[in-house]
Structure 1
Amino acid sequence: MNNDGFMKGGLAAGDALILVDVQNDFLPGGSLAVPNGDEVIPVLNRYLALFHGHGLPIFATRDWHPPDHCSFLQQGGPWPPHCIASTPGAAFPASLELPPDTHIISKAVTPEKDAYSGFTDTELNALLQSSDARRLFIGGISAEYCVLNTVKDALQYHYTVFALNDAICAMDINSNHSHALEEMVRLGAILICFKALRA
């Protein structure tokens, strides 16, 4: 760490990485597959290695739905069943290199309430505060739903938020991706890519 408090690569004490819902059901072949969702994994692995190498905290959110979750079509919701707790579809892919000390945040865990944000009814904010996090670097799946809402809530909690432009994918890659990123910037997030952190 140099005199101004920044680590090599542009990271500092008080930084934290948040991966949003990088789960098998959101990847090609999953029950709610996001086009090209698997393409963010190699990039996220580089972020994971960078943050872990600096001893900075890492968080990974996951949908952890009961079988009768309100968001499912059978219950009148908009989505096919996905990320049902303890099933292979809810697991993180084997190719995602999560360090063993990653904080796992389960969301949307009750039948009657959905949660797109990693902050909704979870311990995420408390854990971030206990780790003295001030700047959050957020990437994952999908841009227009869970990533956007997690970014939005992080800003409302007054964190400085960096959206990982090269490690976010959208369900609608033709339009929603750019619109979601534009909305994150409008709300106050800063777009960043891996090269900038390594500069």
Structure 2
Amino acid sequence: MSRALLIVDVQNDFTEGGALAVAGGDAVAAAVSAYLAAHTGDYDVIVASRDWHDAEGDNGGHFAESPDYVDSWPVHCVAGTPGAEYDPLLETDAVTHHVRKGQGLPAYSMFEGVTDSGETVGAVLTAAGVISADVVGIATDHCVRASALDAVAHGVRVRVLTDLVAGVGAESSEAALIELAHAGAELVVSAEV
């Protein structure tokens, strides 16, 4: 019976100054690092995901010159660019698995990505016997939501650490948290973990 920490998309393009900056993104990066410093030993698996989009093309309609900010977005997190790298405030030494997602197509959930060795997040969690996972990261109303819902669907008990996430919009983030609670995720602050 193992436990995992899922760190979703804490990247330069999603934090202050990035192509799709989320207010509070840098604060989340620093807070996740502080949390990791105190709690690394609580987890058997620590997975961190990154959007990692192809430089050429529209990535399956994900990039658009006139984005709708629902299904299409401005260019962001292009593979190999500084925007796709982890925020420098995020300490990644304890991460056991790095996942890249969205190569050539839209991808919101870390479960849609793969590790450098080609493993899916679902396979990593199953192999480690993970039965519970804590989810943190960016953005509450998009990739955190999708990743946490997929973790629930994978049969993992999920807690979203609400003080370690940041969303694009206040209303859409609140709606995402309500949806996650209805799906069976527990909403807690990190001090309660």
Q: TM-score, normalised by structure 2?
A: 0.88
Structure 1: runs of 5 or more not aligned: 1-12
> Matched residues in 1 for 2:161 and 2:43: separation?
19
Structure 2: runs of 5 or more not aligned: 115-119
- 1:158 is matched by which residue type in structure 2? G
Maintained 8 Å contact 1:48/1:58? no
Over alpha carbons, which structure has the higher Rg? 1
Structure 1 runs, 4 residues or longer, greater than 6 Å off:
none
Maintained 8 Å contact 1:19/1:60? yes
> Matched residues in 2 for 1:118 and 1:54: separation?
21
- Report the counterpart of residue 77 of structure 2 in structure 1: 83
> Matched residues in 2 for 1:35 and 1:126: separation?
33
Maintained 8 Å contact 2:131/2:157? yes
Q: Bigger shift: 53-62 or 22-31?
A: 53-62
1:15 matches 2:3: yes
Summarize the Cα distance change of 1:101–1:30 in structure 2 as closer, same or farther, 3 Å threshold.
closer
Identity %, equivalent residues: 35
Identify the match of residue 111 of structure 2 among 112, 115, 119.
119
Maintained 8 Å contact 1:52/1:99? no
Identify the match of residue 189 of structure 1 among 185, 188, 192.
185
Maintained 8 Å contact 2:19/2:75? yes
Pairwise CA RMSD of aligned residues?
Answer: 1.8
Maintained 8 Å contact 2:26/2:87? no
Maintained 8 Å contact 1:20/1:60? yes
- Report the counterpart of residue 141 of structure 1 in structure 2: 138
Q: TM-score, normalised by structure 1?
A: 0.85
SS at 1:177 equivalent:
helix
Identify the match of residue 107 of structure 1 among 87, 101, 111.
101
Structure 1 position 107, deviation (Å): 0.6
- 2:112 is matched by which residue type in structure 1? T
Maintained 8 Å contact 1:28/1:37? yes
Structure 1 position 52, deviation (Å): 2.0
SS at 1:134 equivalent:
strand
Q: Bigger shift: 146-155 or 72-81?
A: 72-81
- Report the counterpart of residue 73 of structure 1 in structure 2: 64
- 2:122 is matched by which residue type in structure 1? N
> Matched residues in 2 for 1:57 and 1:159: separation?
13
- Report the counterpart of residue 52 of structure 1 in structure 2: 40
- Report the counterpart of residue 51 of structure 2 in structure 1: 63
> Matched residues in 2 for 1:169 and 1:35: separation?
7
Residues paired across the two proteins, number: 182
- Report the counterpart of residue 26 of structure 1 in structure 2: 14
SS at 1:119 equivalent:
helix
Q: Deviations over 1:68-127 (max 9, x none)?
A: 223111497621100000100000012111125531011111x2x211111125311101
